[in-house]
Chain A
Amino acid sequence: MLEIKDLHVKIEDKEILKGVTLTINPGEVHSIMGPNGSGKSTLSQVLAGRESYKVTSGSITFKGKNLLELAPEQRACEGIFMAFQYPVEIPGVANTYLLREALNSRRKYQGLEPLKHVEFIKTVKEKMKNLKIDESMLNRSVNEGFSGGEKKRNEIFQMQVLEPELCILDETDSGLDIDALQVVADGINSMRNSKRSFIIITHYQRLLNYVVPDYVHVLIDGKIEKSGNKELALELEEKGYAGIGEQLQTAS
């Protein structure tokens, strides 16, 4: 579904990703871990199409299409969703409003009619219940005045409504209390199926206890230094990233 080949990315003349190669098949859950500043968010932003990040070499294909040629909204309509590490506030714009525009924009792209208001509200309320989100949030402005945890939950809520094919979660677990983590994890698990893939960026093993990944990758200084299965996350939790650095040194 997603194929990243030898990806190099610069921001303002500074090289951040230094040759990332990663293949994700339908239905797989990949977790990316790595120290602060190693380029995890950069990778997700590049996948989502943020302009300020310049791809200097390498390629990304998504469902056989050259992703780099698509505008951010086209990528979204193709089925890429990113839960932001820092969701932005949009004063005066109701949550429902953005969500409906987003959903209908995707439907239009797919050649479908806009969803009827009644159906939309029905879907939305159902998902909210599952995520234990208060209905009053629908009419509140997008993320405005939301607590850190509420913002993260809102991202997952949007993901549930939009039903993307590739979900990129950038540190969605950070800032969640233990109960919320469980709710969010259930939310993610309920969406897992043989077609939908996930990239879960996290610093903590904890989320991965609930959402068990097929692969774990360690991104250090713009390169995937190690890949493994879920055991790798446990190992990291124990030894930290320094361990990986040592292994690399011994290897070289």
Chain B
Amino acid sequence: MSVDIEQLAEQEYKYGFVTDIEQDIAPKGLNEDVIRMISEKKNDPQWLLDWRLKAYNHWLTMDVPKWPNITYPEIDFNDISYYAAPKIKEKPKSLDDIDPELKETYDKLGIPLEEQKVLAGVAVDIVFDSVSLITTFKEKLAEIGIIFCSISEAVQEHPDLVRKYMGYVVPTHDNFYAALNSAVFTDGSFVYIPKGVRCPMELSTYFRINAENTGQFERTLIIAEQGSYVSYLEGCTAPKRDENQLHAAVVELIAYDDATIKYSTIQNWYPGDKDGKGGIYNFVTKRGRCIGKRSRISWTQVETGSAITWKYPSCILEGDNSIGEFYSVALTNNHQQADTGTKMIHIGKNTTSTIITKGISAGFGQNTYRGLVQIGKNAENARNYSQCDSMLIGDKCGAHTFPYIEVNNSTAQMEHEASTSKIGEDQIFYCQQRGLSAEDAVSLIVNGFCKDVFKELPFEFAVEAERLLSVSLEGSVG
């Protein structure tokens, strides 16, 4: 039995390797010159440089948010490098031009870059540290008017769209980390789905942090025109390192009349070791505007990585009859901390929101659900259903819930359910009696607990999520 656990412990975080590649890294520290340097590397137009500088100057006046239920040493923002890119002469035009070392990296991560090998029906944008390496199926998608490319490329190729929509949902001054991101963001994905088009494949971005002492600041922008549909997925990993690394992303979604955006995340940044050393600090602002009537934005997240997670994917339900959804699994094991949840802002009439969250805490993990449901005064007949369940494994971890509700219209219908349970010793024993190891029993029971969320994920990713959860739970039973 002990042999099994040893083997399991070894495969703990299997994405922890480092790619040995020559990098172009900015010196540590942040000031206007660094921003100009990034802007120049990215070949930004003047307006974008101005936008960055404005964000930076605003950021200087802001304080780190103190309200989240997380503790960590103060981050020295001048001890971080804000740009890292593998040294390549020009952006590869085809896969043959990609450095073999990088190709191997993605093979190891299980993301083969060759289109024919990629999961059927999934187009991928690959972001390595600060740059996008390649986007697959781009041409095929372009035939039906879909734009799927890196945000850097979008800045060059579709400047009007980018200029119109960047900051449309998350303004530069929105919060401390969003302001920082606006000043220094380096890459990310851009998606534009034209009117009436149903995107025929899953779109996905795979983020990889590789360089040491650098932060990753990506920006993703998805615009779904009237009557369009897109399902988008992001995944992320990072090497094992003893220092903490910062990741501060901004994601903006815009849905017009009758458009649907499904946004799924499998977040598997390096969580730190079992004593809490190292790991990614994940401070993310994700928000969508359901501008159009009957538009729908659905966030599904599976958060198993990072030392610290701070994120609240939210929906602003402006259009009448629009729908916002948030399905979340957050797992904290060892010394991980998560403060995550959502905001559902009901503005239009007959708007509906659903929140289903499953928090799992093991080891010394601390897991906080924080959510706001706000019903505006004109939001006639708004409805919200919230269900927040927590599961504790062991007795040194914690689960916390902070559901805030603001109702300014008496026609609103609100339903809130919450539960906290300890994983049952009798459930584990029952499975063991049927022949499963205690580890397998725990992962089976936890996966069952998360089923309502997993069923929202595209099938392949649900399988991946289940596997990931099992790996992340290793060592959680004695």
Contact = CB atoms under 8 A, between A and B. Distances in A.
Interface string A64-106: 0000000111111100011010011111110001110111011
A90 B429 contact: no
Interface string A152-196: 000000100010000000000000000000000000000000000
Interface in B1-48: 1
A220 interface: no
Nearest to B450: A92
A141 interface: yes
Interface string B433-452: 11111101000110111111
Given A76-B435, A105-B440, A84 B445 contact: no
Given A88-B426, A92-B452, A76 B447 contact: no
Nearest to B444: A93
Interface in B444-469: 444-445, 447-452
A238 to B, nearest CB: 35
A49 interface: yes
Contact of A91 (B1, B437, B449): B449
B430 interface: yes
Contacts of B447: 92-93
B427 interface: yes
Interface in B412-443: 424-427, 429-438, 440
Contact of B430 (A74, A75, A77, A84): A84
A102 B434 contact: yes
B426 A73 contact: no
B432 to A, nearest CB: 4
A48 interface: yes
Given A71-B432, A73-B436, A101-B436, A88 B427 contact: yes
Given A88-B426, A101-B440, A72 B448 contact: no
Interface residues of A, number: 33
Q: Which of B429, B445, B451 has the most CB of A within 10 A?
A: B429
B67 to A, nearest CB: 33
A83 to B, nearest CB: 10
A119 to B, nearest CB: 18
B163 to A, nearest CB: 46
Contact of B435 (A52, A93, A97, A105): A105
A101 B448 contact: no
Contacts of A48: 429, 433
Contact of B434 (A49, A71, A89, A162): A162
Q: Which of B1, B435, B449 has the most CB of A within 10 A?
A: B435
Contact of A72 (B427, B432, B451): B432
A77 B435 contact: yes
A71 B440 CA distance: 14
A90 B445 contact: yes
A109 interface: yes
B434 A158 contact: yes
A1 to B, nearest CB: 18
A50 interface: yes
Nearest to B432: A72
B318 to A, nearest CB: 35
A72 B433 contact: yes
Contacts of B452: 92
Nearest to B421: A91
Contacts of A84: 430, 433
B430 A102 contact: no
A158 to B, nearest CB: 7
B423 to A, nearest CB: 10
Q: Which of A82, A87, A93, A97 has the most CB of B within 10 A?
A: A93
A90 B448 contact: yes
B433 A76 contact: yes
Contact of A76 (B426, B432, B438, B451): B432
Contacts of B426: 88
Given A88-B424, A101-B440, A73 B432 contact: yes
Q: Which of B432, B434, B436, B444 has the most CB of A within 10 A?
A: B434
Contacts of B425: 52
Interface in B284-334: none
Interface of A: 48-50, 52, 71-77, 81-82, 84, 87-93, 97-99, 101-103, 105-106, 109, 141, 158, 162
Given A90-B427, A90-B444, A98-B434, 8 more contacts: A48-B429, A90-B431, A91-B449, A101-B431, A101-B434, A106-B435, A158-B434, A162-B434
24 contacts: A48-B429, A49-B432, A72-B429, A72-B433, A73-B436, A73-B437, A73-B438, A75-B433, A77-B435, A82-B433, A88-B424, A88-B426, A90-B427, A93-B447, A97-B444, A98-B434, A101-B435, A101-B436, A101-B440, A101-B444, A102-B435, A105-B437, A109-B435, A158-B434
